[in-house]
Amino acid sequence: MEVVIAPAQELAVLAAEAIEALLRRRPQAVLGLATGSSPSQVYDELARRHAEGGLSFARARGFMLDEYVGLAADHPERYRNVIAADIAERVDWPADQVQGPDGLASDLSAACAAYERAIADAGGVDLQLLGIGTDGHIAFNEPGSSLASRTRIKTLTTQTRVDNARFFDGDVEQVPTHCLTQGLGTIMEARHLVLLATGRHKAEAVHQLVEGPVSALWPATVMQFHPHATVLVDEAAASRLQLASYYRQTYDSKPAWQGL
Ligand code: GLP
């Protein structure tokens, strides 16, 4: 696992550079998209590179990590709408090439199975962007999730609903109780995982992710088994890392041409 400690804006540039390099190499690449505040500067940087540098998403495919169950089709916090506003509509990405699990399906289990098939039919995800919850969840795989789980319905923890209430006028009652999420096993099949975390409130989750024992209690720890995982953190999110100076030394001595 590679750990990079830098200011948030630099982290966003690094992630955007990795995505741009992938799209220039493979215009039909499959990108895994995360919602939440962590990737928003990455999306800003990608939109800038589209406008100023001609970076194109016209042939790319996008798969979202997760979706709330039951939010109305036009609800601004429905993740499909969030991703459209944050990135897809800011670049040349045809709407039908970006998909998420269908949280409004009448048969949610069938929707999850269909989503797994769609990802497999696209050839799997090349680069998956990730954030991390304060309780160590990735996508919406809450503590206790099977490390081998596939796309399924999950109950959100009270902690996650409280954390996400800021997107719902600060009212936790408006935050849905359930979601559909790619499983940890699904996420682990992506060829490159790029996780962003900023702020002191993420420090314990980041410490567990990178240095803790692999455990369903901290679902992100499953990433320790991934052969190509990159963890991008600011000073505050890195503040509990025991081996921070080693990660800095390793990254500082890396050849600039190598990329993430
Ligand atoms: C949400 C999302 C996750 C996200 C996490 C952290 O609940 N389902 O995909 O990574 O919480 O969010 P943020 O980046 O806003 O802190």
Closest CA to 78 of 88, 69, 89: 69
| pLDDT at residue 256 in the model | 83
C-alpha of residue 137 to centroid of ligand 1, in Å? 8
Q: Whose CA is nearest to atom 1 of ligand 1?
A: 36
Cα separation, 156 vs 30, whole angstroms: 27
Compute the distance between CA of residue 215 and CA of residue 190 in angstroms, rounded to an integer: 20
- The pLDDT, as a whole number, for residue 79 is 97
Residue-wise pLDDT tens for the chain (260 aa)?
Answer: 999 999 999 999 999 999 999 999 999 999 999 998 999 999 999 999 999 999 999 999 999 999 999 999 999 999 999 999 999 999 999 999 999 999 999 999 999 999 999 999 999 999 999 999 999 999 999 999 999 999 999 999 999 999 999 999 999 999 999 999 999 999 999 999 999 999 999 999 999 999 999 999 999 999 999 999 999 999 999 999 999 999 999 999 999 888 89
Predicted pLDDT of residue 130: 98
Q: For this structure, is 135 an active site residue?
A: yes
Active-site entry in 137, 163, 192, 234: 137
Residue 235 is a catalytic residue: no
For the record, the structure tokens of 146 come out as: 């099977």
**Does residue 142 carry a catalytic annotation?**
yes
Cβ of residue 132 lying under 6 Å from some atom of ligand 1: yes
Of the residues 86, 102, 126, 142, only one is catalytic, namely 142
Q: Is 96 a catalytic site residue?
A: no
Q: How far is the CA of 6 from the centre of ligand 1 (A)?
A: 20
Q: Considering the entire predicted model, what is its pTM? A: 0.97
